[in-house]
Structure formats: structure tokens, C-alpha cells
Amino acid sequence: MALQSLDIARRSATTTPAPGVRQTTEVAKLIDVSTCIGCKACQAACMEWNDIRDEVGVNHGVYDNPIDLTAKSWTVMRFAEVEEKGKLEWLIRKDGCMHCADPGCLKACPAPGAIIQYANGIVDFHQENCIGCGYCITGCPFNIPRISQEDSKAYKCSLCSDRVAVGQAPACAKACPTGAIQFGSKEQMKDYAAKRLVDLKARGYDKAGLYDPAGVGGTHVMYVLHHADRPELYKGLPADPSISPLVSLWKGFAKPLATVAMAAVALGSLFHYVMKGPNEVSKELEDEMEKEDAK
Amino acid sequence: MIRNPKDLQRYTAEERANHWVVGICFILLALSGLAFFHPAFYPLVQLFGGGVWARILHPIIGWLMMIGFVVMYFRFRALNRMEPADREWLDRVGEMMDGNDHNMPEQGKYNGGQKAMFWAMSVCMLLLFVSGIILWRAYFSFPVDVVRLGAVVHSAIAAIMIAMIFVHVYAALWVRGTVRAMVYGTVTRAWAKQHHRAWYRQVTGKS
């Protein structure tokens, strides 16, 4: 979905600057896990706004429905039952793309313009440029993108980039009945989170905190967590996500190094030929064979 | 090039066909693979009908190359066993590169460099195949850390392999009279006596 075009911060597989003359405010979605009631209105709003209907799934014996993200379900509520201080806590996390400031998907993507990061922080897939290789899945520290079985394109939450472009909040934030999903500038969202943390700490959640992991440069989807010291409690939210060193090696250091090495071997061969000349059969041996034939 | 009935047969038609199946596959794989590796090479996908087609075709051509290479491996394995003379040849490869090969140790059908190349390519092919399967998301799903490692291995080995193929092709062009062995199968007796004297003695029975 390409509505914006002058405010591109980064473009996949592109080595020259993307059009970026327009500067926009960095936005963020804040998901306050402590006020989420797990109603899935956000899931419904997501499918409605994006006009995508996933197949009706089966009940897996838990509240999670669908059980995982798919190419057609860009956000899912993940329900974790955790015992804390002898009490059951039902931790419900709305999972989906985190819109990393340093996106692993974009780093790994080989198709120019298939993944775009806007100046406002949104990381968006442009499916018309996607070749379906799945490198974005390999690069993502949060296991978010999914390849469609129908068209072999990668899909994920767009943070409603089309809505945001015209000054609207994402559909999920609009639909949330408890205000657990807030949307605004990243600064505003941090301020809002700070207030929520004061409240949570007053209620005894002394480890409450904001999830805005520095390992990926911060995210444009942030969580307020009651147990920010243990994000794994929330159905495996990574404690310190970052782009895997293997991905950095593969799509960072290795790219220029291998290109230069291959070029060096090719050019080295050419210059060897130019400087040493061809390795020809000696005149003596040619004559010897001729004499042999003349006999 | 004048064809002489006394030329020596170096490769049979089957061997040549086998070699070129692998060679053509390799070229197509290198072109499409480079496109996924570095944005500078992305335009190469146009040779395959676009990015999606390049992505679809690359692993299929990979399978073809692997099958072709396995056949070639068993064809030439026995001829590539390393011997002491090969090690000596490799130790003195600098002299050869310098253009003076008259004092190089006598070589059989393959010299030490060719044998080393054969084994290095065999190892690379295996690694490329295994890591390629791991990366083939259309049909396989491995844990993400395995896929990440596979991606590093696949691209690093591919770069090494491409560099080795440059050397392989260059060696064939540099040593004049060599390419015809892989095109129509024969080499001149003088060529054989100069570059592979032990093989020359073996096939001609001369000294």
C-alpha cells in the first residue's frame, strides 16, 4: 500500500537514498496489556478495515483464535495464564508487527521496494514488489511476517499506514473499547505510558514498565507490561530482541566483502592473462609431434 | 582448430554433456542467486522473467545441478584421488602461475590443482544443497535460527564457489588448447605431453 511517497526513511534492497524530503512526526501505538480485556475487537477491526477474511478456524482449547498470525490475520490476542504471588494472572497480549526502528525484515529483504520504512516509523510491506522468498521471516526478531499460501506474498500489520497517512488512528486503536490501544506521536505515547506506570506501581506492580526494546532501536508499537522484567511471560515476548548476528553478517558485512572478493578473482584472472600471457604448448613439442607424423 | 585423427580423446560425449548440464545450471544459479544477495545484482532477475520467477526457478535449477553434479562426482571421483606428486605440484603452483611450467612434476589426467578444485567443489555443492533446502520456504519450514545459519552458509559458500568457478574457467582459457576438451572431447598430443605427461604416456604408450 503506497499512499505516502515523499517521506520514506528506508527502502529494502536499495543502496541510494529514498525520497525523503517530507519529514513527519514519529508515531507509535501503545498497547496497555494491563487494561486489555481480550475482547478481540482489535482483531475484528483489523480484518474489517483491511478487508481480509481469514478462514474460520477450529477451537484449540484455548482462547487464542486464530491460534497464530497468518497472512490474513495480522494481529492476534495471545492469552497466557501465569501464577504470580499465588494468584492467577491472565496476561493478554495483542501480538503483531512491532514496527522496529531497525527492522530485521527490511534488512533481509532482497526485493527493492518490497519493504518500506516511513519517516513516521511505520514499516510497511508493498506486496506488488514482494517476490515471496520469505527472507523477511528470517530477518524478523519477533516472528511476525507470514507468506500467503494463495499468492506467495508476505503479509503483516501495516499499522494502518493508509489511515495514518490521512491523520486517522489505526483501526484496532479506534475499536478498542477499554482504551488499551492508544495511538499518537511516539513522545505522547511514552508520556501516556509513564502515567499508566505510576498507576500500576501504586497497585503493587513494582516491576511494571514500558516495552520499547533498544536492541531494535525502539519500536513503534510499544507495550505497557505489569511484569516488564519478564516479557517472556507474555507468550514469549522476547526480553532483548535484536537483529540476529547471523542476519547482520549475511545482509551486512558479507555483501560488500563477497562482492569485492568475487570481482577481485575475476579481475585478477584478467590481469594475470594480460601480464603473463597465455600458457601455450611449446614449439618443441609441436615440432616433435609433426616429425612423428612425417615418419 | 585443425582436428587430427591422432588427437587424444579426453572426454566422452556423455562426460561433456554431463559437465555442461552442471555448468549451465551453475551459471543460471549464480545469476539468480546474486540477485537475491546484493541489490546491485537485482536487475539480473529480468533474465528469468522477474523477481518472482527467479525465486521460483532458482531452487529447481539447484536440484538439477545437484543431480548432474552427483553423476559427475561418481564419474570422476577415482581420477581425482590425491597423490604425492599432486601435493608437490600444489606446493609449486607459484611457478606454474608465473608462466613457467616446464619443471613442474609430471601429472596424470588431472593435476593437483584440478584435483583440489574437484574436492573443494564437491564439498561446496553439498553445503549449498543442504543450506538451499533449508532456505526453500515454499516447501520446507525449519526453525528460524537454522534458516539464518543456512542463509549465511548458502551465500558464503556460493561466493566462494563463484570465485572458484572463475578460476576454473580462467585456467581453461589460460592454458591454450584446453577448452576443446570440454567442447568436442579431444586434445592434441603436444598439449597432453606438455600438461599431463603421465596421462600422455598412459594413453599413447610412448615415453
One domain, residues A272 and A235: no
Taking the CA of residue B54 and the nearest CA in chain A, the distance in Å comes to 9
Residue A268 lies inside a defined structural domain of this protein: yes
CB contact (8 A) between residue B176 and residue A278:
yes
One domain, residues A265 and A194: no
Q: What is the rounded CA–CA span in Å between residue A162 and residue A159?
A: 8
| For residues A215-243, average pLDDT | 97
Q: What is the rounded CA–CA span in Å between residue B190 and residue A104?
A: 58
Give the closest of A110, A280, A281 to B42, CB-based: A110
| Residues of chain B with C-beta less than 8 angstroms from the C-beta of A108 | 151
Cβ-based neighbour number of residue A20 at 10 Å: 14
Helices B51-76 and B112-135: angle between axes, nearest 10 degrees: 140
Q: Strand, helix or coil at B64?
A: helix
CB contact (8 A) between residue A269 and residue B167:
yes
Residue A147 belongs to domain with CATH number: 3.30.70.20
Taking the CA of residue B100 and the nearest CA in chain A, the distance in Å comes to 9
Residue ending a domain, among A198, A220, A241, is: A241
| For residues A254-265, average pLDDT | 95
CB contact (8 A) between residue A111 and residue B6:
no
CB A1 within 8 A of CB A166: no
One domain, residues A265 and A225: no
Please name the residues in contact with B109: beta carbons below 8 A apart, sequence gap of 6 or more: B10, B79, B196, B199
Burial of A202 (0-12, 13-18, 19+ CB in 10 A): exposed
Residue A3 lies inside a defined structural domain of this protein: no
pLDDT at A85: 87
- Cβ within 8 Å of A, B 156-185: 156, 159, 162-163, 166-167, 170, 173-177
One domain, residues A108 and A21: yes
One domain, residues A273 and A155: no
Q: What is the rounded CA–CA span in Å between residue A274 and residue A276?
A: 6
| Residues of chain B with C-beta less than 8 angstroms from the C-beta of A269 | 166-167, 170, 174
pLDDT at B1: 54
Taking the CA of residue A183 and the nearest CA in chain B, the distance in Å comes to 31
pLDDT band at A50 (very low <50, low <70, confident <90, very high): very high
pLDDT digits (tens, 9 = 90+) for A107-153: 999 999 999 999 999 999 999 999 999 999 999 999 999 999 999 99
* Structural domain for A261, as ranges: 248-294
Helices B112-135 and B144-174: angle between axes, nearest 10 degrees: 150
Compute the radius of gyration of chain A from its Cα atoms.
Answer: 27
| For residues B74-99, average pLDDT | 92
One domain, residues A51 and A189: yes
Give helix then strand counts, H and E, for chain B: 9, 2
pLDDT at A4: 55
| For residues B200-205, average pLDDT | 93
Q: Report whether pLDDT(A1) > 50.
A: no
One domain, residues A107 and A252: no
Residue A34 lies inside a defined structural domain of this protein: yes
One domain, residues A130 and A275: no
pLDDT band at B89 (very low <50, low <70, confident <90, very high): very high
| For residues A250-269, average pLDDT | 94
| Residues of chain A with C-beta less than 8 angstroms from the C-beta of B147 | 137-138
CB contact (8 A) between residue A261 and residue B6:
no
One domain, residues A271 and A224: no
Q: Report whether pLDDT(B104) > 90.
A: no
Q: Which of A289, A288, A269 is nearest to A279 (CA)?
A: A269
Residue A253 lies inside a defined structural domain of this protein: yes
Residue ending a domain, among A196, A223, A241, is: A241
Q: Which residue of A has its CA nearest to B168?
A: A269
∠ CA A198-A204-A210, nearest 5°, is 45
Helices A254-276 and B144-174: angle between axes, nearest 10 degrees: 10
pLDDT digits (tens, 9 = 90+) for A182-209: 999 999 999 999 999 999 999 999 999 9
Given the residues B19, B168, B195, B196, select the one marked as catalytic.
B168
pLDDT at B2: 61
Residue A160 lies inside a defined structural domain of this protein: yes
User: In terms of pTM, does the model score above 0.80?
Assistant: yes
Q: Report whether pLDDT(A68) > 50.
A: yes
Q: What is the rounded CA–CA span in Å between residue B37 and residue B29?
A: 12
Considering its fold, how many domains does chain A have in total? Answer: 2
One domain, residues A31 and A161: yes
One domain, residues A189 and A60: yes
The letter for the amino acid at A286 is E
Q: For testing the chain A interface, which of B142, B166, B168, B204 should be mutated: the one with the most A CBs within 10 Å?
A: B166
pLDDT band at A22 (very low <50, low <70, confident <90, very high): confident
Catalytic residue flag (residue B168):
yes
Residue A1 lies inside a defined structural domain of this protein: no
pLDDT digits (tens, 9 = 90+) for B151-176: 999 999 999 999 999 999 999 999 99
Taking the CA of residue A147 and the nearest CA in chain B, the distance in Å comes to 9
Topology of domain B12-89+105-175 in CATH is Fumarate Reductase Cytochrome B subunit (1.20.950)
Instruction: Please provide the DSSP assignment of B83-141 as one string.
Output: -HHHHHHHHTHHHHHTT--TTSPP--SS-HHHHHHHHHHHHHHHHHHHHHHHH-TTT--
| For residues A20-31, average pLDDT | 93
CB contact (8 A) between residue A110 and residue B98:
no
Q: Report whether pLDDT(B27) > 50.
A: yes
Q: What is the rounded CA–CA span in Å between residue B152 and residue A255?
A: 11
- Cβ within 8 Å of A, B 56-95: none
Cell of A43: 482483531
Residue, of B206 and A265, whose pLDDT is higher: A265
| For residues A223-236, average pLDDT | 97
Q: Report whether pLDDT(A3) > 60.
A: no
Compute the radius of gyration of chain B from its Cα atoms.
Answer: 19
Burial A33-50 (b: 16+ CB within 10 A, else e): bbbbebebbbbebbbebb
